[in-house]
Amino acid sequence: MIEVKNLHKAFGTVKAADGVSFIARDGEITGLLGPNGAGKTTTLRMLYTLMKPDQGQVLVDGIDAAVDPLAVRRQLGVLPDARGLYKRLTARENIDYFGRLHGLDEAQLKARREALIQTLDMTDIGDRRTEGFSQGQRVKTAIARALIHDPRNVILDEPTNGLDVMATRALRQFMRHLKDEGRCVLFSSHIMQEVAALCDRIVVIAHGRVVADETPEALRAQTGETNLEDAFVKIIGSEEGLAA
Amino acid sequence: MNQTSNPVRRTRAFFTVYFKEVRENLRDRRTIMTALITGPLLAPLLFVMMLNIGLNRELDKAEKPLKVPVIGQQYAPHLFEALRAGGIVAGPPIANPEEAVRNQDADVVVRVTPDYPKSWRKGEPVQVEVIFDSSQRDASTAVERVSGLVDAYGHQQGAMRLVARGLSPSTAWPVNVARRDQATAQARGVLIFGLLPYFFVITMFMGGMYLAIDLTAGERERQSLEPLFANPVARWRIFAGKLAAICTFSAVSLLISLIAFSVVGHFLPIEKLGMELELGVRFCLTVLVMALPLIVLLAALQSMVAAFAKSYREAQTYLSLLMLVPALPSVLLMALPVKPQEWMYAVPLLSQHLGVMRVLRGDGVTMHQMLFCLGGSALAALVAVLVTAQLYRSERLAISS
């Protein structure tokens, strides 16, 4: 479970996060929806302790990120916005590197890695160097290395960015699979279709603030719109930066 | 779900980072070329070629018959007989000797004027012109040879005239200069090898340079630094692993270069010039030990600069400039040959330069100097490492855009 309480973060005069609070529960998919530049990436970066909030608190499975950032990172599997691979290493070697950094022993590492390669359907690319991988193959590898330590909480920053239809479908399937395993899945997106199709709970962010935090049904009811797209536009107050 | 990572294993993070970086960079052709081939081997090869060409030229000029254009040979047959005995072959006269010398068509030209025989017979001083251009360093050996032979001929003739008048030749030359050169054969070699310490520093620098850029600026540019920092490993451990990888490449570079120098040293014709150089195992070991803290210092500085840079290219530019800094002590000491003071052994770079020169001269480094050298450089390296580690903690470091 990930709890975010009143996060503030400013870069100069720009307030990227201005009092963000929400809860992402285990066994649920929580979607962080907002237009480009709303503060989604900055919020997520504070969750996985890459950045320190100016104010506010992050709790992951009850651990305070400000007190024990290493323990928090151990509870998290992260697919950041930046998902560069080591192109001179094979997909397996990329995954192993992160597994060893998580302190897995070789037997654990092998079992877990092979299971992920099966689930993510990447047996054909496992021993290829990642140079020249397609966008979809790259995302798969990045997800496999992010989940190598079997984390209870999974954070994905715009995971379907740049993927084609087939790869997107496969990824959504995989996220449901993670939810069914009882994990807490938190992902960000600026694509309404995606959030609507996947989420148990939607947190809408605009201008660094949470403007809604509901189930998709409640959102529709709250805004009086039957169409989710219209509901979002009404909540955010403009259509800028959103994609259908 | 696995919730307990063994904390003991986390201490292995350092080695995980280290071995990954080494393995990854061993697969990079450019890094291999620079760190293990061109970097360490180019300097010795260039050095040997330069030396060989230079030495052989000097030796050639000192021993081989030297062809010199001569004007007015018919006026002073005895003089030219003496020059011929000294290995000077009189060439055909040329129209404009001054210009020929300036254009480097001839190194030196000898001219005797038509009034030479008349003056000679009267016993008056005669003039032999040696025309040369002193800004052509290349010509100096030839000029010295010719002037020396002309001088010697003059002395010899003068002595004979004195003897003919019943005087001792020593009346004319009451003072003699006796030159006693105290340089050992090894010390003379050092004059030529003054650039060697700089070559070593450049080799270390080049060996680690591509790694230093790749592991900070490069990794950020390829967007892999952010996911890396999402792992439960303290950033200083990651930095330590990376630093160790840079140091390894740099040290291996230096080692290859040292071995190349000692192999190649056997093929240098230095003994022909009465020089001697100590380039054996003891030399290699001493240089390596003195260089160890310097390797860490350079690696930390390179990482620091690469961490500051916004992109791979920017880091490359900065590091090329940084490469000039290690040249300073070598160039300064060559331009202003000061007497080495003890405190200089505590200054990084300067101490390695002085140390390498001492070992080359065959003097050896004293325990005291070695401790100063290691201590001073290690302290500087520690400061550089701490500053860079601090830089690694910055939020901005991981973020590429």
Nearest CA in chain A to B241: A101
Cβ neighbours for B84, distance < 8 A, ≥ 6 positions apart:
B90
Chain-chain contact of B400 with A82 (C-beta, under 8 angstroms) = yes
Helix (H) or strand (E) holding B69: strand B66-71
- The residue type of B121 is R
Domain B65-173 has CATH 3.40.50: no
Q: Give the residue from B236, B240, B241, B246 showing the smallest Cα distance to B214.
A: B246
CA distance B244 to chain A (A): 17
- Exposure of A178 by Cβ count < 10 A (0-12 exposed, 13-18 middle, 19+ buried)? buried
Could you say which residues from 18 to 37 on chain A have a Cβ atom under 8 Å away from some Cβ of chain B? Answer: none
Using a CB–CB cutoff of 8 Å, tell me whether A83 touches chain B. yes
Residues of B with CB below 8 A from A108's CB?
2
Test A98 with B227 for CB contact under 8 angstroms.
Answer: yes
B7 touches chain A (CB under 8 A): yes
Residues 11-30 of B with CB under 8 A from A: 12-13, 16-17, 20, 23-25, 27-28
Q: Is B54 exposed, middle or buried (0-12, 13-18, 19+ CB in 10 A)?
A: exposed
CA B97 to chain CA mean position, Å: 37
- Chain A residue numbers with beta carbons less than 8 Å from the beta carbon of B223 are 82-84
How far apart, in whole angstroms, are the C-alpha atoms of residue A208 and residue A206?
5
Q: Where in chain B are the domains?
A: 2-55+187-398, 65-173
Give the span between the Cα atoms of B222 and A163, in whole angstroms.
19
Query: Across the interface, do A88 and B24 touch by the CB < 8 Å criterion?
Result: yes
Please name the residue of chain A whose CA is at the shortest distance from the CA of residue B9.
Answer: A103
Q: How many CB atoms lie within 10 A of CB B73?
A: 17
Query: How distant is the Cα of A166 from the closest Cα of chain B, in angstroms?
Result: 25
DSSP A129: B
A118's tokens: 């099966």
Q: What is the pTM of this model?
A: 0.81
**Tens-binned pLDDT, residue by residue, of chain B (401 aa):** 544 445 545 568 999 999 999 999 999 888 888 888 888 888 788 877 777 776 676 666 666 788 889 888 888 888 888 888 888 888 888 888 888 888 888 888 999 888 888 888 888 888 888 998 888 767 777 888 888 888 888 888 888 888 888 888 787 777 877 777 666 655 555 556 777 888 888 899 989 999 999 999 999 999 999 999 999 999 999 999 999 999 999 999 999 999 888 887 777 766 666 666 677 788 888 899 999 999 999 999 999 999 988 888 999 999 989 888 887 877 777 777 677 788 888 888 888 888 888 887 777 788 888 999 999 999 999 999 999 999 998 888 888 65
CB A45 within 8 A of CB B400: no
**Distance, CA of A123 to CA of A92 (rounded, Å):** 10
CB-based contact B224 A82, cutoff 8 Å: yes
Name the nearest CA neighbour of B352 among B202, B228, B172. B202
Q: Among all residues of chain B, which has the CA nearest to that of A44?
A: B230
DSSP states along A76-91: EEEE-S-----TTSBH
- Cβ-based contacts of B23 with chain A (< 8 Å): 89, 93
**Across the strands, what pairs with A202?**
A31, A214
Sign of the alpha-carbon dihedral angle for B398, A50, A10, A192: positive
* Inter-chain touch B1–A152, beta carbons under 8 Å: yes
Tell me the Ramachandran region of residue B92: left when phi exceeds 0, alpha when psi lies from -120 to 50, beta otherwise: beta
Phi, psi of A155 (to 5 degrees): -115, 125
Q: Which of B19, B31, B231, B233 to mutate to test the interface with A (most CBs of A within 10 A)?
A: B231
